Structure 1
């Protein structure tokens, strides 16, 4: 098979497209002919030798990637034969191997792809969709809400805008540059503004005053942190909620999440909560698979429509470079 391999930590150019041996499914596993593989910002960190959630850097050489969709074409010993030939999607967990024409995973990780979804959309929902629904566990949106979504043209931001609109909330989407602003508006945001412009907070306040009766925002979905995240929090009304799940405004791999002291929160009359990692898993009852199933169901029903940006598998290095320079919109997908 062909795969993208990493032999030395470093820049995106270290990802090489080459021929390698086909993986063999172990007992209880399947081998998937990959039609779509997800690229996550974590992949760019691991490529550079950072550990992320791992106790140590990944062993080299490695085939990156932890999200795949395709057709089951081979079974390991003892695996349910009913999986053979099915279109499936799986999050591989802590095991890499997704950037390839063939990938193996435990049958217990598989979901059958619902009719009407293509493999790229299924990959987006198994990762980005899962995270989005995990974030949304921490709030209950309704018509009385005003939601501010920074990075609104990204994979998670796209889904948050849709979900909030479906719930009847007013949505303010922040995006970087006119193309992303246009995409955010087309996705349904009531107001889409360019957060690279210095007057964007004034644009939002004018909208709140003129269109929403002068009310402040009720929730900020903060994946950017930094100055943009802080300015977004300044839009919250008393009793508002700040949900933190990233800090890309300080660099995709650098920086730290936006935090407030108890005194600052009390003075502002708001709540701030970090929602990634163990707290999200605990909220889901200890099983992220529940969120995966819900995400696929929402997409199959047409309530959530993931945005994807597709690259050829052989162009994985270019995909990494685009992701790191904020040159992508939606979930980045590799297709053989």
Structure 2
């Protein structure tokens, strides 16, 4: 009888342990529209050497998540294939340290960037210790931290490593209220830019007037030459792409640098006439954090710390709407409507 009881207790213990080891996650079960997103229970990921496990409180919803879900990059080697858990950026508390991790502790509140661009829409997330930064003591709300710190880190890397922003230079940012774009004005000001101007589509001009982001001015992107007149910029940040990329050349001075940082327009066929680069003495450089940062790991830590400083100083105040994880499909629908004037974040329940 004692033996039976012992085995029953062991079975119950293992069953409970197995239940506890399952995390809640949102999976993309196929490529397609937002309806392919569904809740699932998956085994908890375990941190390996140099990694940490994070109990996620918030995960940001970004345009790259939509591209992955639609299958825009499905034929590119190394890109996620269904079923996968979307999510590039999370905040939460460290629950476990992998072998060799120092400088962090269990229970510490952190923001993490993904090396793969996936995994964030889950209650547990494993990150490389090199891709996280503590936010304890900095007075940053977790939903704002996950919305802005990773993007501000990317902006810092783009400005310092690719655009080589110098003191007192001027910056133009297209899609000014977008997830990535919204991080650029604060970092530009932190690095000494003299003037930062943003552009938005006409439907977002009212939201632009109300923003707390540190732009000196925000203008209608469909009236670029009329709005800007003779003003010329040293650096243009373009996460939008399409025709506005070519139009930007007309508002750049000699020695200007245009950073192609995305393609929110969805125009994958657009090209820029290269003779205009020569005639205007301007440069176009691409910046894709997913490609750049893994090959330049020494940039990540200073970028994250600079981003944390900028956001804690109030240089990234943007509108953040928070939805529960089980409304991930609704979050994607709202992203696709292009009616947003800030960030969308999923919160663990």
Q: Name the TM-score, length of structure 2 as normaliser.
A: 0.78
- 1:328 aligns with 340
- 2:320 aligns with 308
Give the deviation of 1:76 after TM superposition: 5.6
State the alpha-carbon separation in 2 of the partners of residues 308 and 70 from structure 1: 17
Give the deviation of 1:282 after TM superposition: 8.9
Deviates more, 1:155-164 or 1:74-83: 74-83
Structure 1 residue runs without a partner (length 5+): 209-214
Give the deviation of 1:279 after TM superposition: 8.0
Q: How does 1:104-253 map to 2 (within 5 A)?
A: 104-115=126-137, 116-137=139-160, 138-143=163-168, 145-166=169-190, 167-176=192-201, 177=203, 178-184=205-211, 186-196=212-222, 199-205=223-229, 208=230, 215-249=231-265, 251=266
Deviates more, 1:322-331 or 1:133-142: 322-331
Q: Please tell me whether the aligned partners of residues 2 and 17 of structure 1 are also in contact (alpha carbons under 8 angstroms).
A: yes
Give the deviation of 1:126 after TM superposition: 4.3
- 1:255 aligns with 268
Query: Is 1:101 matched with 2:123?
Result: yes
Deviations 1:82-136 (A, max 9, x none): 6221112222311632112222334454322232112223323442112111111
State the alpha-carbon separation in 1 of the partners of residues 89 and 281 from structure 2: 40
**1:16/1:279 CA distance change after superposition, 3 Å:** closer
Q: Quick check: which has more Rg, 1 or 2?
A: 2
Aligned residue among 31, 41, 44 for 1:23 = 44
Deviates more, 1:312-321 or 1:231-240: 231-240
Aligned residue among 304, 311, 321 for 1:292 = 304
Give the deviation of 1:175 after TM superposition: 0.9
Q: Please tell me whether the aligned partners of residues 63 and 98 of structure 1 are also in contact (alpha carbons under 8 angstroms).
A: yes
How many corresponding residue pairs?
A: 319
SS of match in other structure, 1:292: helix
| Cα RMSD after superposing both structures | 3.1
State the alpha-carbon separation in 2 of the partners of residues 290 and 303 from structure 1: 17
**1:2/1:82 CA distance change after superposition, 3 Å:** same
SS of match in other structure, 1:88: strand
**1:195/1:290 CA distance change after superposition, 3 Å:** same
**1:150/1:78 CA distance change after superposition, 3 Å:** closer
State the alpha-carbon separation in 1 of the partners of residues 198 and 304 from structure 2: 25
State the alpha-carbon separation in 1 of the partners of residues 279 and 103 from structure 2: 60
